[in-house]
Amino acid sequence: MQNVRAGNALIPAIGFGTYGMNGDDIYRMIPAALRAGFRHIDTAQIYRNEAEIGECVAESGIPRSEIFLTTKVWVSNYSARHFDASVNESLRKLKTDYIDLLLLHWPGSDVPLTEQIAELNAVVRAGKVRHIGMSNFNRASMTEAIRLSAAPLVTNQFEYHPYLNQSLLIGSTRQAGLAVTGYCGMAIGRVFSDPTLMEIAARHDKTIAQIVLRWLVQQSGVVALSRTTRVDRLAQNLAVFDFELDSADMTAIYALATANSRIVDPPGLAPLWDSTGA
């Protein structure tokens, strides 16, 4: 598995996404994902599956040091009063004494950013967390978070797929030395009926999922999250490091971006997005 370096963090370039999975899905998919070679798992306090993931990781027989675990603090836990206790609960559920990457899940909160960043730094100092970052931050709030943090922030995780032009946010994220972690790469299924992607996939003898994942990880500093509830798709979604898209393919996929293609935009949590208009 290729890694993306950001500051002192080495992040496996494809992470297994677990949004919407609990109980049976986790017990079925996480052991199979680890067997298939996934070494990066993405969860969040709000997904309510940290305990099941922790169990699967603990029972996998794979050394903890070989698995990169990301979780995200939910907005209701951002205050100094709740933050540390919520991280302790994540640690307990994940059955581990450290989290590889801890993110602020969404920017929308009344708790001052100074307090959120101070709390993130405190859990790093306490050895509970190796790396920190944020999710769904726009350029302005990301820049402010970086300014406030003594420990380096290593990633901004946000929606990224062929229909959403994120060049502004990606440019700033890269320039600040952070990795981009893209979610919803499959654009909730829209990619699977796209004629351009079908043509590129046929020419490379790959699936559309592989073409989109390859397009993501071929971009400098980009980590892709991939979720599937089908064991037979795990190996396919990891097998994207043995071929390349040429610049014409890359450009054709960038050209699929259109206005109003954002999928995840929860009111009260989402920031004012950086928009290119296309």
Q: Which residues are catalytic?
A: 47
Q: Of 129, 186, 201, 240, which one interacts with ligand NAP (CB under 6 A)?
A: 186
Tokens of 232: 């037979």
- Shortest spacing between CB 19 and ligand NAP, in angstroms: 3
- The answer to the question of residue 83 lying near ligand NAP (CB under 6 A) is no
100 contributes a contact to ligand NAP by CB under 6 A: no
| Smallest distance from ligand NAP to CB 204, Å | 14
Q: How far is the CB of 166 from ligand NAP (least distance, A)?
A: 14
Contact flag: residue 17 with ligand NAP (CB under 6 A): yes
Shortest Å distance, C-beta 228 to ligand NAP? 3
- 10 Å Cβ neighbour count for 110? 7
Residue span binding ligand NAP (CB under 6 A) among the ranges 12-20, 61-69, 170-178, 245-253: 12-20
Binding site for ligand NAP (CB under 6 A): 17-19, 42, 135-136, 157, 183-186, 189, 207, 209, 225-230, 233, 236-237, 264
